[in-house]
Amino acid sequence: MNNFVYHIPTKVCFGKDTENEAGSLLKEFGAKKALVHFGGGSVVKSGLLDKVCKSIKEAGIDYITLGGVVSNPRLSKVYEGVELGRKNGVDFILAVGGGSVIDSAKAIAYGIANEGDVWDFWARTRVPEACLPVGSVLTISAAGSEMSEACVITKDEGLLKRGYTNNLSRPKFAIMNPELTFTLPWYQVASGAVDILMHTLERWFDKKRDSAQLTDAISIGLMKTVMRNALVLKGNATDYNAAAELMWAGALSHNGLTGCGGNWNPPVLPGDWATHQLEHELGGMFEVAHGAGLSAVWGSWARYVSKDNPEYFAKLGKDLFGMGDGAAAETVIKKLEDFFVSIDMPVTIAGLGVTLSEEAVKELAHKCSFFGKRTIGSYRPLDAGDMEAIYRAAKG
Ligand code: NZQ
Ligand code: ZN
């Protein structure tokens, strides 16, 4: 097992009615004036925003609101939030929503706490010195941003979707009431389940993670739990226990736990992450749901790299699916794709409703390679040519 640091400062408040604790949690973390940030309206429609604001008012904390965050959140909204927050002396950002809202909140928090253009951090020309405190009331089990150090933003100009990781942005608290996810469309629930699975699976394909038995066991337990309960939710969208399992798995899958003992080289996360990088470009250019984008490209990535170290696929087949020793990579890949299909997720890009032209394949790979300046993935490093081949294979 490799050395690692595991420091997750996020206070989790989990269960029914916990959204009513928003005010007291803000108070506990010293907020004087909060920016309550939300998305395209689901939290207005469900009445959640009103409940949260009532709780903040009752705690005697001042607040302003800013909605309108879109999926694959935009830099233009971040700029708007930074300006509004500065003008109003905001000292805490509370996200009420999913990964997109939480990421937009984190980016605003960076923007208020640092002078200059906040995009510099995603462009990697500068690192932030500080970040305003962030908390969340989570409404979808998916991205894991509620406990993660990651923040993914799309620059409007050129539709560049980029992730940035820094412990400064780890949220102070996360309110997780599984009942808040009952209003989600099934497609979003399923897309979230894929994302949760992938956050652990990406960490599984880490060539330096030898003999991290406990981390492997946690990973397998988490992935089995997600697969089982996604299928329960397909049959019954309001099954509380299934929604609760998914919500807790979402937070643990991306808070670092399933990477402990891996290739620890901060700020680079242990694991492969090529599938995520390939998807981010798709999400930026075509506005697809992140998890659905992951299932659309994962199989093509896996087939492309599986000739290297096929024993990783065999181990996955044995531990996750109960296959015998030495299962062929293709059998394991197909089995996971079958699961994606069983929860109505696409296994090709065409399945996302996107028809990729050859020109788009090249543009995606060009952007994903940071214009030819980087490779992605650690299981097998991939250059722009490899990326093109994978997008082409995934086209459908
Ligand atoms: O905007 P509203 O109206 O709220 O609608 C949202 C949105 O359309 C809707 N929704 C959310 N909760 C709902 C609901 N509808 C009804 N009832 C509810 N309870 O669902 C849609 C998707 O929401 P979004 O926040 O975009 O989903 P998700 O949590 O999957 O976040 C995706 C974003 O997170 C990034 C992704 O790349 C993507 O941009 N990621 C962030 C990570 C991180 N910060 O650690 C890691 C991930 O790998 C990921 O890259
Ligand atoms: Zn993800």
| Cα separations in angstroms, 185 against 190, 238, 275, 334 | 9, 11, 24, 26
pLDDT tens string 129-187: 999 999 999 999 999 999 999 999 999 999 999 999 999 999 999 999 999 999 999 99
Tokens 């030819």 locate to: 372
Task: Please give the distance, rounded to the nearest whole angstrom, from the Cα atom of residue 68 to the centre of ligand 1.
Answer: 13
Pocket test for ligand 1, best of 184, 188, 253, 282 (most atoms within 8 A of CB): 188
Q: Which ligand is in closest contact with the Cα of 254? A: 1
Percent of the residues in the chain that have a pLDDT greater than 90, as a whole number:
95
State if residue 170 touches ligand 1 by the CB under 6 angstroms criterion: no
CA distance 138 to 37: 12
State if residue 284 touches ligand 1 by the CB under 6 angstroms criterion: no
State if residue 136 touches ligand 1 by the CB under 6 angstroms criterion: no
Q: Please answer whether residues 370 and 123 qualify as being in contact, where contact means their C-beta atoms are separated by less than 8 angstroms.
A: no
CA-closest candidate to residue 201, choices 69, 340, 71: 340
CA distance 170 to 131: 9
CA distance 214 to 82: 42
pLDDT score recorded for residue 264: 80
When pLDDT is cut at 50, 70 and 90, the band that residue 263 belongs to is confident
pLDDT score recorded for residue 266: 77
State if residue 348 touches ligand 1 by the CB under 6 angstroms criterion: no
Cβ neighbourhood burial of 62 (10 Å; 0-12, 13-18, 19+): middle
When pLDDT is cut at 50, 70 and 90, the band that residue 16 belongs to is very high
Tokens 């309001």 locate to: 238
Q: Which residues contact 230 (CB under 8 A, 6 or more apart)?
A: 189, 190, 193, 246, 343
CA distance 355 to 353: 7
State if residue 39 touches ligand 1 by the CB under 6 angstroms criterion: yes
Question: Average pLDDT in the 220-241 region?
Answer: 98
pLDDT tens string 299-312: 999 999 999 889 99
CA-closest candidate to residue 346, choices 201, 194, 209: 194
pLDDT tens string 29-61: 999 999 999 999 999 999 999 999 999 999 999
Task: Please give the distance, rounded to the nearest whole angstrom, from the Cα atom of residue 318 to the centre of ligand 2.
Answer: 24
Tokens 């990697």 locate to: 124
Q: Which ligand is in closest contact with the Cα of 164? A: 1
Task: Please give the distance, rounded to the nearest whole angstrom, from the Cα atom of residue 9 to the centre of ligand 1.
Answer: 22
Task: Please give the distance, rounded to the nearest whole angstrom, from the Cα atom of residue 351 to the centre of ligand 1.
Answer: 20
pLDDT score recorded for residue 209: 82
- Average pLDDT taken over every residue of the chain: 96
pLDDT score recorded for residue 55: 98
Question: Average pLDDT in the 109-116 region?
Answer: 98
CA distance 54 to 52: 5
pLDDT score recorded for residue 313: 96
When pLDDT is cut at 50, 70 and 90, the band that residue 269 belongs to is confident
Encode burial over 198-225: b for 16+ CB neighbours within 10 A, e otherwise. bbbbbbbbbeebeebeebbebbbebbeb
12: its two tokens: 């989790």
pLDDT score recorded for residue 168: 97
pLDDT score recorded for residue 267: 77
